[in-house]
Amino acid sequence: MGEPVHQVPEHLSAPTGRLVALRPVEPLPPAAGEPGSAPYGAVGQSSLQGIFPPIADYAFLSDCENTCLVAPTGAIEWLCLPRPHDPSVFGTLLDRSGGSLRLAPADTAVPANRRYVPGTMVLATTWQTRTGWLAIRDFMAIGAWHRTSDRSALHRRTPGDFDADHVLIRTATCLHGTVDVVLDCEPSFDYGRIDARWDYAGAAYGQVVTTNPDFIPLTVAGDLRLGIEGRALRARHRLVEGESCYVALSWSDRPPPADMDEVRTSLAETERFWRGWVDGGRFPDHPWREQLQRSAITLKGLTYASTGALLAAPTTSLPEHPGGHRNWDYRYTWVRDAAFTLWALHALSFDAEADDFLAFLGDVIEPEGSADGEPPVERLLQVLYGVDGTSALPEGELDHLSGYGGSQPVRIGNAAYSQKQFDILGAIVDCVYQHTRSRDSLSERAWKIVVQAVDTAVRSWRQPDHSIWEIRGEPRQFTFSKVMCWVAADRGARLAALRGETARANQWWDAALEIHADICEHGVDAKGRFTQSYGSDELDGSLLLLPLVRFLPPQDERLRATVLGIAEELSDRGFVRRYRTETTDDGLDEPEATFTVCSFWLVSALVEIGELDWARKLCERLLGSASALGLYGEELDPGTGRHLGNFPQALTHLALVNAVLHVIEAERQDNDEPMGPTSSPTWWAAAGRDERAGRKPV
């Protein structure tokens, strides 16, 4: 019998207590400048990956203006202020020296349990230590609208009953025994370039503020005695059973909570906001209800209430391929992603978000005035914007950061803002179309968006573009872009008919017929399948949307062959890739994992073509691949189930909503128990429009 194998935690920040055999410690690489040394990015990449928690282990918090990610160790490792695309204050997500805020037991790194309080975005973490049990609650506070004597400088949308309090609150309660709680708060401004400088705000140790003149001031307050040690704030306190403590990080002019009673009030208000919002939705009575609600709450958390914009994701540069270069900044609002998100929220009867987003689009294309008295210049829709409407988003790299797991470069900004992606035109027109159906009205401002989008689609559909996947290679005649230009013209014609604009409706309808015929002639291969681009034999995951946008009837053999072809040729163990990277010039010579949104699109497409059993099994597998907290990144490694890419990803969660609702409705129709669509508005019903492809709306 051999010597006993020593056991150590596999990963100090893992959510479970899995144990692995202790391996010999490898010698440290020589220091920079010593013989045998190498540049930072050239060594230690695998060891770097080992000190970052898995992407799926992060929790997501939001107050519908700011967002943060919480590692399983109890550390806030990502927070950007004052806007989601501004430089990070806590950036350990992308470099282990980038700053964080941890409130947790002193001697324990792996929690016993983590979950969201049901119906909310309040994170509940339970810890077991050698001496007792501890419960932590984390939330970004949302309270009743508090501005009574002044107006917000941030809000462009109509104020509601609630508003973000711009404070992150963390509470700790000893459930049993005694627990030593530690606080380590180390902000580092400008993506880790500038360390925080602190000063006490009063005579005692309970409140401190940053004094860096060029950055947003931070206030840390609580019922702990705070000590300043360089850039760090530290505290340690022993709790006995029944005792609690709290810490609050504030970035507003309002005072932080003064005591535990105010903290409890803030927690109750925050829970009331989230549960009140969820109660306004329409969720089926089904075992998958919880997954639908968590995805809906996540999508709501990705909204920016001040303007109505929606984030694609709250992070930048989480790698799609570990150690590779597929690292992008997603902290912006993509017109396409936002429009698709609203499809999902509409399906759950959340309509107010669409009002706000269409108002945001109205803002960003509002003609700009001229200082010299010239007529205003029309602004065209672009692919993405900052959440505040910023249009120029130049891409740069942060060479001083290691990147998540050593994956470089770390990018900020996104060069896709200047690309041609004509598919966004169909996405936004269909968004207005669906919104009109649910609201029985079409505002003049929304109509202006439709007119600009449809006219651009009709004028541009023959041109090559970079399409939905934003390839960094040469523009091509992508089939999906042309399909979405058809969507723009088709839905635009129906909306024009509703307004009584017969001439415009006929013009757009004729254009839709021309685009449709051209796609069917040039976008189909010898096997009768729609292809990635004209003249290509490659398939593309985006084409799974063809049955969902009603391009052809679901029984059409070309549609069925396309869906089944993608399921066979682009799938890896049931998960779907966007395309084959070895045959598609996307500007990057490296592989990528499966794209989770495409996998959920396959579920919906299979339902559409009548493959319900297959769709249900795939949906069950995808739902089982969620993180422990019900979140999804952009991609999944089919071999390991590892989440990759920016996290959490709005596009994935909206596709989940659509896929789950597709399966549930199909099951109930099979059982003659329809879930029942939202009742049609009387104005729309009176118009009697036929939505089937090829049917003229006038």
Question: Residue 522 has what pLDDT?
Answer: 97
Arithmetic mean of pLDDT, 368-373:
56
**pLDDT over 60 (residue 424):** yes
**pLDDT over 80 (residue 45):** no
Question: Residue 679 has what pLDDT?
Answer: 31
Place of tokens 């499966």: 594
As a whole number of angstroms, the distance between CA 304 and CA 312 comes to 11
- Residue 601: name the closest of 584, 625, 576 by CA: 576
Arithmetic mean of pLDDT, 110-115:
97
Question: Residue 351 has what pLDDT?
Answer: 85
Question: Residue 375 has what pLDDT?
Answer: 62
- Using pLDDT thresholds of 50, 70 and 90, give the confidence band for residue 35: very low
- Using pLDDT thresholds of 50, 70 and 90, give the confidence band for residue 693: low
* Mean pLDDT, the chain, integer: 88
Percent of the chain surpassing pLDDT 90: 72
Question: Residue 582 has what pLDDT?
Answer: 85
- Using pLDDT thresholds of 50, 70 and 90, give the confidence band for residue 49: low
- DSSP helix/strand/coil, 360: helix
- Strands 100-105 and 75-80 come out as antiparallel
In the chain, list all ranges with CATH 1.50.10.10.
289-367+378-675
As a whole number of angstroms, the distance between CA 396 and CA 409 comes to 9
Question: Residue 48 has what pLDDT?
Answer: 66
Tens of pLDDT, residues 191-223: 999 999 999 998 889 999 999 999 999 999 999
Q: Would you say 406 and 467 are in contact if contact means Cβ atoms under 8 Å apart?
A: no
Question: Residue 343 has what pLDDT?
Answer: 82
Look up residue 333 and give its DSSP letter: E
Arithmetic mean of pLDDT, 479-507:
96
| Range from 16-20, 84-88, 115-119, 622-626 carrying the lowest mean pLDDT | 16-20
Question: Residue 341 has what pLDDT?
Answer: 85
Question: Residue 602 has what pLDDT?
Answer: 98
Q: Would you say 465 and 422 are in contact if contact means Cβ atoms under 8 Å apart?
A: yes
In the chain, list all ranges with CATH 2.70.98.
49-279
As a whole number of angstroms, the distance between CA 114 and CA 606 comes to 34
As a whole number of angstroms, the distance between CA 350 and CA 295 comes to 13
Tens of pLDDT, residues 231-249: 999 999 999 999 999 999 9
As a whole number of angstroms, the distance between CA 49 and CA 45 comes to 6
Arithmetic mean of pLDDT, 397-420:
95
**pLDDT over 60 (residue 151):** yes
Arithmetic mean of pLDDT, 382-408:
95
- For the four alpha carbons of 580, 582, 583 and 585, in that order, the dihedral sign comes to positive
- DSSP helix/strand/coil, 257: coil
- Using pLDDT thresholds of 50, 70 and 90, give the confidence band for residue 39: very low
| Range from 23-32, 204-213, 650-659 carrying the lowest mean pLDDT | 23-32
As a whole number of angstroms, the distance between CA 667 and CA 669 comes to 5
- Using pLDDT thresholds of 50, 70 and 90, give the confidence band for residue 229: very high
- DSSP helix/strand/coil, 500: coil
Classify domain 289-367+378-675 at the CATH topology level. Answer: Glycosyltransferase (1.50.10)
User: Torsion angle of alpha carbons 181, 186, 191, 195, nearest 10°?
Assistant: 180
Tens of pLDDT, residues 544-594: 999 999 999 999 999 999 999 999 999 998 899 999 988 888 777 778 899
Classify domain 49-279 by CATH number: 2.70.98
**pLDDT over 90 (residue 367):** no
- Using pLDDT thresholds of 50, 70 and 90, give the confidence band for residue 1: very low
As a whole number of angstroms, the distance between CA 52 and CA 45 comes to 11
User: Torsion angle of alpha carbons 474, 476, 481, 485, nearest 10°?
Assistant: 120
